[in-house]
Amino acid sequence: MTTSSIITVENLKRHFVLDRGNFLTRRKPVNLHAVDGVTLDIQPGEAVGLVGESGCGKSTLARVLCRLIDSTSGRILFEGRDITDMSASAFAGSQMRSDIQMVFQDPTESLNPLFNVFDLIADPCRRLKPQKNRAALRAKVEAAAVSVNLPLEFLTRFPHQLSGGQKARVGIARAMVVDPRLLVLDEPTAALDVSVQATVLQLLGSLRRDKGVALLFVSHDLNVVRLLCSRIVVMYLGQVVESGPTDHLFHAPQHPYTHALLSAIPTLGSGARRDRIKLDGDPQSPVNPSADKCRFAGRCPLQQELCTRQAPVLSRTGSGREVRCHFPLAEPGAPK
Amino acid sequence: MSVPLLSVRDLTVDFATRDGTVHVLDGVNFELAAGETLGIVGESGSGKSVTAFAIMGILDHAARVLSGDIRFEGRDVRAMYPRERDLWRGKEASIIFQNPRTALNPIRSVGRQIADVVSRHTPGSSSEIRESVLGAMRQVRIPDPERRMSSYPFELSGGLCQRIGIAAALACHPRLLIADEPTTGLDVTTQAVIMDMIRDIARQGNLGTVLITHDLALASEYCDRILVMHAGHVVETAPVKDLFANPRHPYTYGLLNSVPSMVDSVHDLRAIPGSLPDLRRADLPPCRFAERCPRRIPACDAPGLTLKEAGPSHAVACRNPL
Ligand SMILES: Nc1ncnc2c1ncn2[C@@H]1O[C@H](COP(=O)(O)OP(=O)(O)O)[C@@H](O)[C@H]1O
Ligand SMILES: Nc1ncnc2c1ncn2[C@@H]1O[C@H](COP(=O)(O)OP(=O)(O)O)[C@@H](O)[C@H]1O
Ligand SMILES: [Mg+2]
Ligand SMILES: [Mg+2]
């Protein structure tokens, strides 16, 4: 972590209280550990991919980072400044709100059907970056539309008149109009066809290159993340289990879960793969998880006795890599 | 000459809607042999599900089948009496739907839902039915089936719900299985387990399988042959390897170049311009891809476009193929 980071989180937790418990009857509280001790930092202009299966806490982490919901514990630093104790509403009123913008998964649900595209894009600008006059606002909105390759005649249309790909662009334009330094994208292409997804991915690649905006790209599709991100963070049941530079992680995964995830991706023209690692069975529950065993135990193909009585910690394994495993996989060719 | 397990000839389907007639399928042709897996790919709205529903006879009331000869082992499926077709469906031919949770009845235990299928097709004593249900659940490797039988869909994960859907579809040992996006929305690790299971069961029983998916990479791993659909037309069909090594239709080529696993940088991705034509148009062109096509020539606007042979078991509907 350096002070040049846009955002840094340390040991961040977000628990959802399902039952507060009762001290008198000794009923234990029931907490769902959606995000359970995540440390992460994002440098200016960097593209970080966040992957993991559904329910592992990706969206919750993204929302906490954007200060849309509060954390349970841990520290959040914005450009080195501790904003952990700043309330969500104080944050919403500050300059920082426009520096971190979020793009949601479902473009249909996140766009108000009563607004036309101009007003949809102008809305965050009016709230966060009021312009001197209408002409200045129009210029800002048009620049945002151009930056996402949305023809200007679309500005007068309504969401129901747009295709899925066009709606996704409007969602990104809404975020870009306030000149953010970090875009947090929660599965922005999950609902799109591959050919439309291709245009959105290209757009995000260009925005990063041309405007220097940093990306936190949340996805369950490692192939998509591979194209866009230089660093990948893999989550499992609320925790980071592995992180590292994209190439290294792809070619030599160290956590058995990352390995399984990679081997499960269908690949064009490969024919059915034989070396696939199957994860049969369901993951452990995120409700009151045991502190004394690995969260991947029970599904891990390489599990040993130690894994069921001691939880592994996240440790550095060199070259910007971290892994949370008692028995990480060796780099191919490296001595055991 | 042997009779194919399934043959579909000139299937044309419209939907009557308030905004006019939607010309969804236009002259769809294909065959499927026992033991073969055919992938149907194409972007959403291209008519994959409607093709599956037309074969199974489960289209909704707005649909009109204008033409189409659908044969199962040589028998004319559309000429069957409704009762006969109901018995055929589930017993000889089955379908697995995309969203396992909505495909299941939320207020009936999963064991009962499988039992419903079994008792409709192979009546027996309640203990025989119970054994068939347990057998079907074991086949899809549902852990602890005796206990799971009495679970309700909301109590199960998406992956387990889809296994129940598969168990119900396979309980009566059909010879044709249509899987409509069976793993869309599931995690990749679950997808791999479910797809391997469908493949293994199909192999053991020599089932003919139609795998409908928008994911070309998935189709390439599990299918013998692929049918590419665009806006209700079959535009190309070929054995998997041949299709990927040697795509002839510009739409197939475009799809392949938009798949992330095919390239190394976002800037190498190539999107297909435009979108599907509005299928309500009365003036739909002979080639429904022409308006998006980089290889369009004047001949493309002439009527009478059909699938033409382009190699061994490879056919393409294009006047200016690659
Ligand atoms: N508001 C909430 N109340 C209770 N549990 C929640 C809430 N939001 C999310 N969860 C739970 O937190 C976990 C992580 O969810 P989420 O962050 O949406 O995961 P992902 O985006 O990786 O699929 C899941 O078990 C989910 O059920
Ligand atoms: N009940 C219906 N009424 C009107 N149009 C329909 C109906 N069902 C499907 N369609 C239309 O048929 C086309 C093909 O749909 P579908 O087969 O579901 O596509 P796919 O499965 O390839 O995504 C779409 O344009 C869709 O809007
Ligand atoms: Mg999510
Ligand atoms: Mg469909």
- Same domain membership, residue B191 and residue B169: no
- Same domain membership, residue B182 and residue B134: no
Q: Which ligand is nearest to the CA of A188?
A: 3
| φ, ψ dihedrals at B296, nearest 5° | -65, 135
The pLDDT value recorded for residue B260 is 86
- Same domain membership, residue B186 and residue B168: no
Subunit contact B221:A266, Cβ cutoff 8 A: yes
The pLDDT value recorded for residue B66 is 96
Q: Which residue of A has its CA nearest to B240?
A: A269
Three-class SS state of A191: coil
Cβ-count burial of B50 within 10 angstroms (0-12 exposed, 13-18 middle, 19+ buried)? buried
- Same domain membership, residue B182 and residue B159: no
Q: Which ligand is nearest to the CA of B28?
A: 2
Report which ligand 2 atom has the smallest distance to the Cα of B51: 17
Q: Is the CB–ligand 2 distance for residue B61 below 6 Å?
A: no
- Same domain membership, residue B181 and residue B49: yes
Domain boundaries, chain A: 230-336
pLDDT band at A295 (very low <50, low <70, confident <90, very high): very high
The pLDDT value recorded for residue A1 is 47
The pLDDT value recorded for residue A335 is 43
Subunit contact B271:A272, Cβ cutoff 8 A: no
CA distance A52 to A264: 12
Lowest mean pLDDT among A138-152, A175-189, A259-273, B273-287: A259-273
Residue B321 is assigned to a structural domain of this protein: no
Number of domains in chain B: 2
CA distance A20 to A29: 5
Q: Give B70-77 contacts, CB < 8 A, sequence gap 24+.
A: B70/B6, B70/B7, B70/B8, B70/B9, B70/B11, B71/B3, B71/B4, B71/B6, B71/B7, B71/B9, B72/B5, B72/B6, B72/B176, B73/B3, B73/B5, B73/B175, B74/B3
Report which ligand 1 atom has the smallest distance to the Cα of A56: 22
ipTM: 0.84
Q: Cβ distance B14 to B22 under 8 Å?
A: yes
pLDDT of B42-83, one tens digit each? Answer: 998 899 999 999 999 999 999 999 999 999 999 999 999 999
Ligand 1 centroid distance, CA of A34 (Å): 6
DSSP lists the bridge partners of residue A32 as: A16, A287
Q: Is the CB–ligand 2 distance for residue B159 below 6 Å?
A: no
Domain boundary among B173, B189, B208: B173
Subunit contact A195:B141, Cβ cutoff 8 A: no
Three-class SS state of B228: strand
> Both tokens of residue A164?
């899925």
Burial annotation B54-90 (CB, 10 A radius, 16+ → b, else e): bbbbebeeebeeeebebbbeeeebeebeeeebeebbb
pLDDT band at A331 (very low <50, low <70, confident <90, very high): low
Residue B206 has pLDDT above 60, yes or no: yes
Q: Which of residues 117-146 of B touch A (CB under 8 A)?
A: 141, 143
CA B15-B55-B248 angle, to 5 degrees, is: 85
Residue A210 touches chain B, beta carbons under 8 Å: no
Full strand arrangement of the beta sheet holding B208-212: B93-96, B176-180, B208-212, B37-41, B225-230, B233-239, B314-316, B308-311
> Both tokens of residue A233?
């963070």
The pLDDT value recorded for residue B207 is 96
Residue with tokens 């998880």: A289
> Both tokens of residue A198?
């291709």
pLDDT band at B233 (very low <50, low <70, confident <90, very high): very high
- Between B155 and A332, the higher pLDDT residue: B155
Ligand 1 centroid distance, CA of A44 (Å): 28
pLDDT band at A181 (very low <50, low <70, confident <90, very high): very high
Residue B107 is assigned to a structural domain of this protein: yes
- Same domain membership, residue B197 and residue B69: yes
Q: Which of residues 200-259 of B touch A (CB under 8 A)?
A: 214-218, 220-222, 240-241, 244-245, 254-259
Residue A238 has pLDDT above 60, yes or no: yes
- Same domain membership, residue B136 and residue B101: yes
Which residue's alpha carbon is at the smallest distance from atom 6 of ligand 2? B15
The pLDDT value recorded for residue A281 is 73
Average pLDDT score over residue span A201-221 = 91
Angstrom CA distances, B308 to A298, B230, B240, B299, B314, stand at 53, 16, 18, 15, 8
Cβ neighbors of A148 (< 8 A, separation 6 or more) are A169, A170, A172, A173, A176, A203, A207
The CATH number of the domain where B305 resides is what?
3.40.50.300
Mean pLDDT of chain B: 92
Query: Is the CA virtual torsion B80, B83, B86, B88 positive or negative?
Result: negative
Residues of chain B with C-beta less than 8 angstroms from the C-beta of A193 = 43-44, 214
Highest mean pLDDT among A160-174, A264-278, B198-212, B259-273 belongs to: B198-212
Residue B102 is assigned to a structural domain of this protein: yes
DSSP A102-115: EE-S-HHHHS-TTS
Ligand 1 centroid distance, CA of A35 (Å): 9
Ligand 4 centroid distance, CA of A110 (Å): 23
- Between A179 and A23, the higher pLDDT residue: A179
- Same domain membership, residue B295 and residue B230: yes
Cβ-count burial of B113 within 10 angstroms (0-12 exposed, 13-18 middle, 19+ buried)? buried
The pLDDT value recorded for residue B112 is 92
DSSP state of B175: S
Q: Which residue of B has its CA nearest to A247?
A: B264
Report which ligand 1 atom has the smallest distance to the Cα of A52: 22
Domain boundary among B140, B173, B206: B173
CA distance A138 to A146: 12
pLDDT of A91-130, one tens digit each? Answer: 888 888 899 999 988 777 788 999 999 999 999 999 898 8
- Give which of A141, A146, A121, A147 is closest to A210, Cα–Cα: A147
> Both tokens of residue A75?
């520290």
- Same domain membership, residue B259 and residue B293: yes
pLDDT band at A140 (very low <50, low <70, confident <90, very high): very high
The pLDDT value recorded for residue A88 is 78
Give the helix/strand (H/E) hosting A293.
none
Mean pLDDT of chain A: 89
Average pLDDT score over residue span A8-37 = 90
Residue B1 is assigned to a structural domain of this protein: no
Cβ neighbors of B270 (< 8 A, separation 6 or more) are A198, B254, B257, B258
Q: What count of other Cβ atoms lies within 10 Å of the Cβ of residue A259?
A: 17
Q: Is the CB–ligand 2 distance for residue B17 below 6 Å?
A: yes
Cβ neighbors of A124 (< 8 A, separation 6 or more) are A98, A101, A174, A175, A177, A178
Report which ligand 2 atom has the smallest distance to the Cα of B47: 17
Ligand 1 centroid distance, CA of A281 (Å): 20
> Both tokens of residue B97?
């739907």
Residue whose CB lies within 8 A of the most ligand 2 atoms, among B49, B51, B99, for a mutation test: B49
- Give which of A169, A206, A36, A9 is closest to A100, Cα–Cα: A9
- Between B227 and A108, the higher pLDDT residue: B227
Residues of chain B with C-beta less than 8 angstroms from the C-beta of A220 = 187-188
pLDDT band at A336 (very low <50, low <70, confident <90, very high): very low
CA distance A281 to chain B (A): 8
- Same domain membership, residue B248 and residue B165: no
- Amino acid of residue A323: V
Size of interface A-B (CB pairs under 8 A): 124
The pLDDT value recorded for residue A11 is 95
Which residue's alpha carbon is at the smallest distance from atom 23 of ligand 2? B44
Strands A314-318 and A321-324: antiparallel
CA distance A83 to A62: 16
- Same domain membership, residue B186 and residue B288: yes
- Note the pTM of the prediction, 2 decimals: 0.89
CA distance A324 to A52: 14
Domain boundary among B173, B188, B205: B173
pLDDT of B99-150, one tens digit each? Answer: 877 888 889 999 999 999 898 888 888 899 999 999 999 988 888 899 999 9
Ligand 3 centroid distance, CA of B100 (Å): 19
CA distance B320 to B8: 26
Residue with tokens 């996006």: B181
- Same domain membership, residue B191 and residue B74: yes
Name the residue range of residue B191's domain: 6-92+174-316
